Chains A and B, each alone.
Chain A
Amino acid sequence: MKALAIALNTFREARRDRAQWILLLYAVVVLGGAAVLTPLAMGEGYRVTRDLGLAALSLIGLIMIVLVGSGLVHKELDRRTVLTVLAKPVRRTEFLIGKYLGLMAMVTLIFAGMVLLLAGTLLIMERRLEPAVLCAAGFTYAELGVMTAVVVAFSSFVSPALAGIFTLAMAVMGHFSGDLLRFADTAGNPVLAWLSRGVYLVLPHLESFNWRAEAAYGVLPDPSQAGGAALYALLYTASLLALGSGIFTQREFR
């Protein structure tokens, strides 16, 4: 309950920061893209709008998470409100989970708006919307859930600028993590191979949430793929929040 109260407060704060204006940026990308690029795409306007729309879901979502999330805990420290909250019987873990849930509520609201915009645009364009597009959006939502946990974890112990940079770096490396495994298989040096495998396990496997290529050809994930990705997202998020709480618990506030 305490975590939910903090979540509600975080959500209100994100709204006060006008995070919902990100939707406008997405509308410009999708509607503008559909209107401007369709005549230039030689009959492939639907495809261009769908592919750019799905990519923008992930990229704009990530930008929003970094912008809103990186200063999440720091703001409370700066204004000393964290001391008031933690003086009450609220555990630091609850505080961090509340922050995560509040930010996720904002992400969910904006993400739903973005998906509705994309679906509406595609329906208007060709009166069709492949279920695979919605699946790809679902996978992207799971990716954003993981990246929200990353930014919340970083924001609990580093400055907002560093939290933002580290989160973006994790997003980039998370898409390359599969290459580390391939590198480990071909590396001649066993220490290097072991190290690569270790880093691979630590980094988020963001390619597990990339269903955009399949969506382009109407391929639906089988339940084990979707379930596996959802379970991985949940467990990875939990581990990040646990790590963030562990570090946050050790911090001393003066």
Chain B
Amino acid sequence: MRPFLRGGLAAAIFWAAAVWLAPDSASGRAEREEFLYYPSGPFLRNAVMGYDQAASAVAWLETVQYYGKHARGDQHFDYLYHLCDVTTELDPHFTEPYTFGSFVLLTEGKRPTAGMKLLEKGRENNPDSWKIFFESGFIYYIAWKDYPTAAYYFTRSSEMPGAPEVTERFAAWVSTRAGDVRTAILLWQELADRTTNPELKEKAEKKVKELTAQILEAGPAGR
């Protein structure tokens, strides 16, 4: 046998043996992975040595993967807050983790306090982001049914630089038509139109259909 073939054959045998004998690392990791997510705290940004943006992008990808896995599975999002917190610790001006994280924690994660904590952090780090203030108003209106606070945040959002005209309209509607299902539909529709996040878009459109069906079932009296 030629030396090249002999070497190749030996390599293939050793590789196959290594693969055969290797412990099933994937299954072992599946159990532990949630506990091995990144550290947090003040040393996090130092630890990434100036590559905060790239680390934040990687943390965001992990967040999305974590969400996808649990949304399709057990519907438990115990570490979502931590992941969004880490992502925004690395890049405090990255608004998507605040809005998406709080939305999931409030609607699917059943952890409204953690979601609101994320939005508070977002408002603190981005005091002129109309999106985060709008999202705060959205959550107060839809999930907590706290209409005066929702109106406050929509008004604040409408005052921010770059805020679209629709924020002002919501501020007015919520003040005058508190609890109205049609306002809720418009809010969901607005979210579906605005977001670039396909998951959020799908959920918002589904909610619009549900609420519209609810109005149609109730008939003219229920509107």
Contacts and interface: CB of A to CB of B under 8 A. Distances in A.
Interface string B74-96: 00000000000000000101101
Interface stretch (A2-10, A42-50, A195-203, A223-231): A42-50
Interface string A48-92: 100110111011000000000000000000000000000000000
A51 B46 contact: no
Interface residues of A, number: 27
A49 to B, nearest CB: 9
Interface string A172-206: 10011001000000000000000000000000001
The B interface, classified by DSSP as helix, strand, loop or mixed, is: helix
Nearest to B90: A213
B182 to A, nearest CB: 28
Interface in B184-214: 195-200
A213 B46 contact: no
Contacts of A216: 53, 91, 93-94
Contacts of A41: 57, 60-61, 64
B96 A44 contact: yes
B52 A213 contact: yes
Contacts of A43: 96, 195-198
Contacts of A172: 49
Interface string A102-126: 0000000000000000000000000
Contact of B197 (A40, A42, A58, A59): A42
B167 interface: no
Contacts of B197: 42-43
Interface in B34-80: 46, 49-54, 56-58, 60-61, 64-65
A25 B52 CA distance: 22
B50 A207 contact: yes
A54 B96 contact: no
Interface residues of B, number: 25
B91 A42 contact: no
A212 interface: yes
A155 interface: no
Contacts of A44: 57, 60, 96, 196
Contacts of B195: 43
Contacts of A47: 57, 94
Contacts of B49: 172, 175-176
A54 to B, nearest CB: 7
A55 B64 contact: no
B134 interface: no
Contacts of B56: 51
A54 B93 contact: no
B100 interface: yes
Given A42-B64, A43-B196, A44-B96, A52 B57 contact: yes
Given A176-B49, A210-B50, A212-B52, A42 B57 contact: no
Nearest to A172: B49
A150 B92 CA distance: 33
A59 B49 CA distance: 11
7 contacts: A37-B61, A40-B65, A44-B60, A56-B54, A176-B46, A206-B50, A216-B93
Interface of A: 37, 40-44, 47-48, 51-52, 54-56, 58-59, 172, 175-176, 179, 206-207, 210, 212-213, 215-217
